[in-house]
């Protein structure tokens, strides 16, 4: 398996079919999109902190700009940036990095496979994502700018919006196609290509997380694909899937057939987008589990319980979607059902979190760089999860729905939650992928500044939510109740810019360590799972000889052994 | 009441008869959440310190069996079930199905549009005039059919909502163009206005004063500025305001 194919640069690094190269392509593209999406938000945060004031430094360049005249952000640009921030972070940033990047790189290694089951399908998945990303970016250059109807694109607003929305829909069709191709590949790979001896209950928890995630992608994305095609038809061929009769826009009746229903879009969208939340969080929990177990030097507490919770969570994530829609005129039967399922789905989440915290008990905790991020994930995810409870109770949601409380809630799940887990993953597996360790000092600075700054952004959102400030307001202090909390916006914006500056430390570390980092051994963290049994970095085909698995994934600190870890392939 | 001073860093004061159950639910949930978070947090920090790697300290392969996690899990389940059945279900069914009697309520229609709230009052006959999207014009934003006899005494206002205190308001919410969301923070009232749907909502104010309607659902580039004004009047003030509006009606 270790034979070297002599491939040219293009075939080896650009149109590669090696899961590791594709994984790195996904990860780098995803990181760039995360940076871009964050930059959009850092510009929006100027308007939120200092409404109506010109951007500093660059205002003179923008004097004659038609999108940002005089450097002041108007509502159209604000809505465009807001919609694209959400779309980019979710569909072009986090999912590609967590599933496409980490999933692709790690799953075949952790199950002892030479590659994914369908390497060319894997490449097709990446390039479909790439095209989707180019279309989304391209929409910024349209005269009317990109989509402006929020990442949720609710009709009829999105039907009436400019050409940017058409680009958004076409881009989404490519992104969905990419995820579907990827999910099939993951399922087949995990079911078929496990090494000899690697039974399902010997799989590392990260592989389980990717397994459930792949099911969610496969089953939840098709309705969105259909919905995107419907909305595209409404926009370009004049159908009325989401347009009711009798619309009067700007004083003139709208010339459409009518008879459609805008709520249908919301059902189709959230039927995807709620499982999507778990697509964002499950790989993150998987990464954190690997890092925490490795650095506590003891087995995972409740491995099987966690696997069953994961499966249950995956199943339940398909029956909670309408808790995003309590305000659409829902009756008691529907609302009671979705409130109950929402409370039920909180239980496996609590179990997963509890198991991870209990794993710390009795360990010997090594405070490595990735461990910092993995540990910080736990309380951050706890805040994100807990604040979902009042939103899942319809009566409390009457007040909190569509306020900044919601934004605070889901950002705690995906920003200091998932993103910190992804950073933990990067610091943990960087030595395997590059052969060098990342710099400790820069890494710890990156952690501590990010940890403080990110809470400085999202914690005040709960205050704004209690005060009743609506989401998506281009002028944050327009209402009396929002003027009362305007001071928090200044604090949040400054925190956001500090967070942005702290990411420079990460970027410097990421590139500098490739050249000057300490050389990594094949198994620098004394870990047990199979990816550490490969040479560093792993060659095409991964393993020098086909691995055979003899034990479970986390045999740490077994009494009477010379080392405190026994790798899975040791007999 | 001087409006701006009532707002701060917490829920604004509740000025409605039904809002107390919403506030109660929010507060009970947050007490529970903080308790759980602090409990977890203390255990977490204790572990981080006590089980740090140091010379002479070794990780344990096996843990002594403990029933505490299971006990906490069951307690969480029971608490959530109790909140759901005891507070949230009854609250939602009261707010969304127990409508006040039409005869005892102030009846209004609210028609949202980009970017204003049209308010229609049925007038002295208590019957709303017919509306037709084809009749919409700048001077007739809801398309009121003036040939309909019951429309002649209807009062319509743009973003000015007046109603008397201590009397239920029964409103029918709809939209002409896109989805909006009708939100009055002090009354704990929020409901999406969906084109093609007529959604009934109700509330009862317990104090007089001047407040704002905010739009809570992104509805275009005027979403931020889609502000309405609420005046909760004494019955006398309301009667005077109504009489004033009636004088403006074209005979």
List pLDDT tens digits, range A318-355: 999 999 999 999 989 999 999 999 999 999 999 999 99
Structure confidence at residue B195 as a pLDDT band (50, 70, 90): very high
Tell me what the pLDDT averaged over chain B comes to.
93
Which of B86, B194, B228 best probes binding to A when mutated, by most A CB atoms within 10 angstroms?
Answer: B194
Closest Cβ–Cβ partner in A332, A398, A463 for B97 = A332
Per-residue model confidence as pLDDT tens digits over A454-508: 999 999 999 999 999 999 999 999 999 999 999 999 999 999 999 999 999 999 9
| B68, part of any domain | yes
Question: Nearest Cα to A121, choosing from A179, A55, A206, A45?
Answer: A179
For residue B203, the surrounding DSSP H or E stretch is strand B199-203
Q: How do residues A421-453 score in pLDDT, each as one tens digit?
A: 999 999 999 999 999 999 999 999 999 999 999
Nearest-neighbour CA in chain A from B174: distance (Å): 11
Domain-embedded: residue B11: no
Task: Clarify whether residues B57 and B138 are in a common domain.
Answer: no
User: For the stretch A83-94, what's the b/e string if a residue is b when 16 or more beta carbons lie within 10 angstroms of its beta carbon?
Assistant: bbbbbbbbbbbb
A311 touches chain B (CB under 8 A): no
- On whether residue B6 sits in a domain, the answer given is no
Residue B10 lies in a domain: no
A375 inside 8 A of chain B by CB: yes
Mean pLDDT, chain A, rounded, equals 95
**Are A4 and A540 within 8 A, CB to CB?**
yes
Residue of A nearest to B172 (CA): A329
Q: B123 and B171 share a domain? A: yes
DSSP secondary structure letters along A457-499: HHHHHHHHHHHTPBSS-SSTT-SHHHHTTHHHHHHHHHHHHHH
Q: Does B192 touch chain A (CB under 8 A)?
A: yes
pLDDT at B134: 87
| Residues of chain A above pLDDT 90, percent | 91
Task: Report whether pLDDT(A158) > 90.
Answer: yes
B239 and B127 assigned to the same domain:
yes
Cβ-Cβ contacts under 8 Å, A409 against chain B: none
Question: Which of B97, B112, B132 is a domain's end point?
Answer: B97
CATH code where residue B175 lies: 2.60.40.420
Picking from B28, B62, B97, the residue at the C-terminal end of a domain is B97
Per the structure, the count of domains in chain A is 1
For residue A449, give Cα distances in angstroms to A41, A417, A491, B177: 18, 16, 15, 46
- What's the predicted TM-score (pTM) here? 0.95
pLDDT the model gives residue B2: 43
Chain A environment of B76 (Cβ under 8 Å) = 347, 350
Using the beta-carbon criterion (under 8 Å), do B44 and A360 form an inter-chain contact?
Answer: yes
Output the domain CATH number for residue A103. Answer: 1.20.210.10
State the best of B79, B195, B199 to mutate against chain A, taking most chain A CBs within 10 Å.
B195
A558 has a chain B CB within 8 A of its CB = yes
Same domain, B158 and B204: yes
Answer yes or no: do B29 and A332 touch at CB < 8 A. no
- Count the domains in chain B: 2
CA distance A73 to chain B (A): 12
Q: What does the alpha-carbon distance between residue A98 and residue A104 come to, in Å, rounded to a whole number?
A: 9
Residue range B32-86, pLDDT digits in tens: 999 999 999 999 999 999 999 999 899 988 877 788 888 989 999 999 999 999 9
Task: Confirm whether A263 is domain-assigned.
Answer: yes
Closest of A175, A165, A419 to residue A283, by C-alpha: A419
Q: Which residue has the higher pLDDT, B38 or A258?
A: B38
> Which residues numbered 228-287 in A keep a CB inside 8 Å of some CB on B?
244-254, 261-263
Strand partners, B107: B170
The verdict on B122 and B159 lying in the same domain is yes
- Flag whether A560 is in a domain: no
Predicted pLDDT at A4: 57
Contacts of B218 in chain A (CB under 8 A): 79, 149-150, 154, 157, 471-472
Kindly report the nearest CA distance between residue B35 and chain A, in angstroms: 11
Contact criterion met (CB < 8 Å) for B61 and A480: no
Residue B3 domain-assigned (yes or no): no
Q: Angle at CA A416, nearest 5°, toward A414 and A419?
A: 60
Residue A130 has pLDDT above 60, yes or no: yes
Q: CB-CB: which of A76, A379, A394 is closest to B88?
A: A394
Where does the pLDDT of residue A5 fall: very low under 50, low under 70, confident under 90, or very high at 90 and above?
A: low
Residues A166/A146, Cβ–Cβ less than 8 Å: no
Q: Strand B180-184 vs strand B189-193: parallel, antiparallel, or unpaired?
A: antiparallel
Show the domain range for B186: 103-248
- Domain-ending residue, one of B58, B77, B97: B97
Say how many C-beta atoms besides its own lie within 10 A of residue A238's C-beta. Answer: 11
Report residue A559's pLDDT band, with 50, 70 and 90 as the boundaries. Answer: very high
Whether B109 and B216 share a structural domain? yes
On whether any CB of chain B is under 8 Å from the CB of A366, the answer is yes
Q: Which residues pair with B180 in a beta bridge?
A: B193
The distance of B166 to chain A (nearest Cα, Å) reads 21
CB contact under 8 A, B53 and A468: no
Q: State whether A343 and B84 contact (CB < 8 Å).
A: yes
Residue A568 in domain: no
In a domain, A67, yes or no: no
Chain B stretch 27-56, residues whose beta carbon is closer than 8 A to a beta carbon of chain A: 29-30, 32-33, 36-37, 40-41, 43-44, 47-48, 51-53
* Beta-carbon pairs below 8 A across chains A and B: 293
Optimal mutation site among B1, B45, B60, B137, interface A, most CBs of chain A within 10 A: B60
On whether residue B13 sits in a domain, the answer given is: no
In a domain, A362, yes or no: yes
What element of type H or E holds A516? helix A486-516
CA distance B160 to chain A (A): 16
- Domain presence at residue A66: no
Instruction: Quote the strand ranges of A14-114, DSSP E.
Output: none
Residue ranges making up the domain that contains A101: 16-57+72-242+258-533
Q: A51 and chain B: CB distance < 8 Å anywhere?
A: no
State the pLDDT confidence band at A553, using cuts at 50, 70 and 90: very high
Beta bridge partners of B170: B107, B202
A327 with B181: Cβ contact below 8 A: yes
Residues B207 and B241 in one domain: yes
pLDDT at B250: 66
- Is residue A540 in some structural domain? no
> What pLDDT sits at residue B1?
41
Contact A332 B84 (CB under 8 A): no
Residues B114 and B207 in one domain: yes
Is position B8 within any domain? no
As a whole number of angstroms, the distance between CA A457 and CA A475 comes to 18
Nearest to A365 among B53, B73, B216 (CB): B53
Which A residues, 473 through 502, put their C-beta within 8 Å of a C-beta on chain B? 473-475, 478-481, 483-485, 488
Same domain, B118 and B236: yes
Per-residue pLDDT at A179 exceeds 90: yes
Identify any residues that bridge with B118 across adjacent strands, giving them in sequence order.
Answer: B111, B158
With CB atoms and an 8 Å threshold, state whether A339 touches B51. Answer: no
First and final C-alpha spacing in chain A? 22
The verdict on B66 and B125 lying in the same domain is no
For residues B92 and B111, state if they share a domain: no
Residue A2: predicted pLDDT? 46
Residue A1 lies in a domain: no
Q: Are residues B227 and B243 in the same domain?
A: yes
């Amino acid at each position: 398996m270790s034979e070297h194919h002599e491939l040219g640069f293009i075939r080896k690094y650009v149109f590669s079919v090696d899961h590791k190269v594709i994984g790195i392509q996904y990860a780098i593209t995803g990181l760039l999109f995360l940076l871009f999406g964050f930059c959009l938000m850092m510009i929006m945060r100027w308007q939120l902190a200092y409404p109506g004031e010109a951007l500093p430094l660059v205002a003179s360049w923008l004097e004659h700009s038609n999108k940002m005249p005089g450097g002041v952000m108007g509502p159209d640009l604000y809505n465009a940036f807001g919609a694209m921030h959400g779309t980019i972070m979710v569909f072009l940033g986090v999912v590609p990095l967590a599933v496409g990047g980490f999933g692709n790189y790690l799953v075949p290694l952790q199950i002892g496979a030479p590659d994914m089951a369908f390497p060319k399908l894997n490449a097709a998945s990446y390039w479909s994502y790439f095209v989707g990303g180019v279309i989304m970016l391209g929409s910024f250059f349209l005269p009317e700018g990109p989509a402006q109807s929020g990442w949720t694109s609710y009709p009829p607003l999105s039907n009436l919006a400019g050409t940017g929305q058409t680009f958004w829909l076409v881009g989404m069709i490519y992104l969905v196609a990419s995820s579907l191709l990827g999910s099939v590949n993951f399922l087949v790979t995990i079911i078929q290509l496990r090494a000899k001896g690697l039974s399902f209950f010997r799989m590392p928890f990260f592989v389980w997380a990717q397994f459930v995630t792949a099911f969610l992608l496969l089953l939840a994305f098709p309705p969105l694909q259909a919905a995107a095609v419907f909305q595209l038809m409404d926009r370009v061929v004049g159908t009325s899937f989401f347009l009711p009769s009798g619309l009067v826009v700007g004083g003139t009746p709208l010339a459409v057939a009518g008879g459609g229903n805008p709520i249908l879009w919301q059902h189709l969208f959230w039927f995807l987008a709620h499982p999507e939340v778990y697509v964002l969080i499950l790989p993150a929990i998987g990464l954190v589990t690997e890092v925490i177990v490795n650095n506590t030097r003891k087995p995972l507490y409740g491995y099987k319980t966690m696997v069953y919770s994961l499966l249950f969570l995956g199943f339940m994530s398909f029956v909670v979607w309408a808790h995003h829609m309590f305000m659409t005129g829902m009756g008691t039967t529907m609302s009671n059902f979705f409130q109950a399922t929402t409370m039920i789905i909180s239980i496996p989440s609590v179990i997963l979190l509890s198991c991870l915290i209990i794993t710390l008990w009795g360990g010997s905790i090594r405070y490595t760089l990735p461990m910092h991020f993995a540990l910080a994930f736990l309380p951050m995810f706890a805040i994100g999860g807990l604040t979902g409870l009042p939103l899942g109770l319809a009566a409390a949601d009457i007040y909190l729905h569509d306020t900044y409380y919601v934004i605070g809630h889901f950002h705690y799940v995906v920003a200091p939650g998932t993103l910190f887990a992804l950073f933990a993953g990067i610091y943990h597996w960087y030595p395997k992928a590059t052969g060098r360790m990342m710099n400790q000092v820069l890494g710890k600075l990156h952690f501590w500044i990010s940890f403080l700054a990110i809470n400085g952004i999202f914690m005040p959102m709960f205050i704004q939510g209690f005060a009743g400030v609506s989401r998506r307001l281009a002028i944050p202090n327009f209402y009396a109740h929002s003027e009362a909390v305007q001071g928090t916006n200044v604090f949040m914006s400054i925190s956001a810019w500090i967070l942005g500056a702290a990411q420079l430390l990460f970027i410097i570390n990421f590139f500098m360590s490739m050249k000057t980092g300490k050389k990594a051994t094949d198994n620098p963290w004394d870990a047990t799972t199979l990816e550490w049994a490969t040479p560093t970095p792993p060659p095409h085909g991964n393993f020098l000889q086909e691995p055979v698995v003899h034990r479970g994934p986390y045999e740490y600190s077994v009494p009477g052994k010379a080392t405190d870890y026994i790798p899975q392939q040791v007999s | 009441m001087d409006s701006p001073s009532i707002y701060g860093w917490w829920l604004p004061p509740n000025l409605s008869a039904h809002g107390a159950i919403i506030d109660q639910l929010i507060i009970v949930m947050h007490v529970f959440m903080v308790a759980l978070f602090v409990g977890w947090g203390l255990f977490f920090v204790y572990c981080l310190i006590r089980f740090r790697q140091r010379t002479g300290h070794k990780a344990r392969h096996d843990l002594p069996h403990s029933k505490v996690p299971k006990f906490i899990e069951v307690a969480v389940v029971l608490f959530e079930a109790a909140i759901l059945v005891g507070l949230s279900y009854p609250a939602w069914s009261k707010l969304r199905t127990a409508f006040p009697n039409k005869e005892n309520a102030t009846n209004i229609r609210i028609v949202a549009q980009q970017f204003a709230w049209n308010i229609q009052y049925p007038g002295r006959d208590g019957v709303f005039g017919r509306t037709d999207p084809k009749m919409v014009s700048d001077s007739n934003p809801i398309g009121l059919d003036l040939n309909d006899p019951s429309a002649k005494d209807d009062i319509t206002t743009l973003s000015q909502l007046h109603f008397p205190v201590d009397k239920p308001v029964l409103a029918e919410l709809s939209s002409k163009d896109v989805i909006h969301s009708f939100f009055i923070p002090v009354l704990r009232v929020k409901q999406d206005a969906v084109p093609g749907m007529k959604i009934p909502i109700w509330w009862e104010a317990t104090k007089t004063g001047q407040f704002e309607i905010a739009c809570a659902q992104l509805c275009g580039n005027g979403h931020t500025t889609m502000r309405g004004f609420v005046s909760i009047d004494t019955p006398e003030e309301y009667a005077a305001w109504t009489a004033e509006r009636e004088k403006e009606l074209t005979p």
